[in-house]
Amino acid sequence: MKDKLIDILKGKFLVSEDAVKNWRFILFASALAVLMIASSHSADKKVHEIAKLNDEVKELRSEFVDTRARMQQMKLESTIMARLKDEGLKQSDRAPKKIVIVENDDR
């Protein structure tokens, strides 16, 4: 048993007569290892990309809420009247009247 362990440590299984099948297995295992490492890196890259996109979505959602709040503030009648006061426009004291146009079919 000690001799077999020493032969493995020296690498005699790689240079013996039936070394071809050993080399095939080693190459197959190495290819699988490279494939597994590449797959892992690809998955990690996608996880980082998803995290970055989630942060961007949160930032854009926050910007949307802020912009919508400012727009609603700008649409208020009091805000509009304050901005138009500098232009010399003011709110009418009289209520608006509806104008109705009646068309005659006499033509």
pLDDT tens sequence across 55-69 = 999 999 999 999 999
Round the average pLDDT of the chain to a whole number and report it.
Answer: 89
34 pLDDT higher than 90: yes
Is 45 within a domain?
yes
For residue 30, CA distances in Å to 14, 35, 45, 96 come to 15, 9, 23, 85
Is 100 within a domain?
no
Question: What pLDDT band is residue 44 in, cutting at 50, 70 and 90?
Answer: very high
Is 101 within a domain?
no
Is 99 within a domain?
no
Q: How many domains is the chain partitioned into structurally?
A: 1
Is 105 within a domain?
no
Is 95 within a domain?
no
Is 90 within a domain?
no
105 pLDDT higher than 80: no
Instruction: Give the domain range for residue 35.
Output: 2-85
35 pLDDT higher than 80: yes
